[in-house]
Structure 1
Amino acid sequence: MKSLVLEEKGKLSLRDYPIEREEPMGPRDVRIKLHTVGICGSDVHYYTHGGIGVFQVKAPMILGHEASGTVVEVGPEVTTLNEGDRVCMEPGIPDPNSRATRMGMYNIDPAVRFWATPPVHGILRPTVVHPEAFTFKLPDNVSFAEAAMVEPLAVGVHAATKAQVKPGDIALVIGAGPIGLVTALSALAAGCARVFVSDIDDRKLELAASLGPITPINVAKQDLTQEILKATDGWGVEIVLECSGSPKAASGVFDPLCPGGRVVFIGSQVHDIPYSVGKAMVREARVEHVFRYAHVFPRCVAMLSSGAIDVKPLITRTFAFDESVHAFEVAAAAPPGEVKMQIELPQ
Structure 2
Amino acid sequence: MRRIRPETRWAYVFLLPWLIGLLVFQLGPMVASLVLSFTDFDLIGDPEFVGLGNYARMAQDPKVLRAVGNTVYYTALHVPLSIALALALALMLNRITGRAAGVFRTIFYLPSMTPYVAVGVLFLFLLNGQAGMVNQFLGLFGIEGPQWTTDPDWILPGIVLMSLWNLGSTTIILFAALRNVPRELTEAAMIDGAGRWQRFRSITLPMISSAVFFVVIINTISALQMFDQVYAMFFGNQVAQQSHGDAALFYVAYLFQQAFQFLHMGYASALAWVLFLVILVITLIQVKVGNRLVYYEAEEHAG
Higher helix share: 2
Higher strand share: 1
TM-score > 0.5 by shorter chain: no
Larger Rg: 2
Q: TM-score, normalization: structure 2?
A: 0.28
Q: TM-score, normalization: structure 1?
A: 0.26
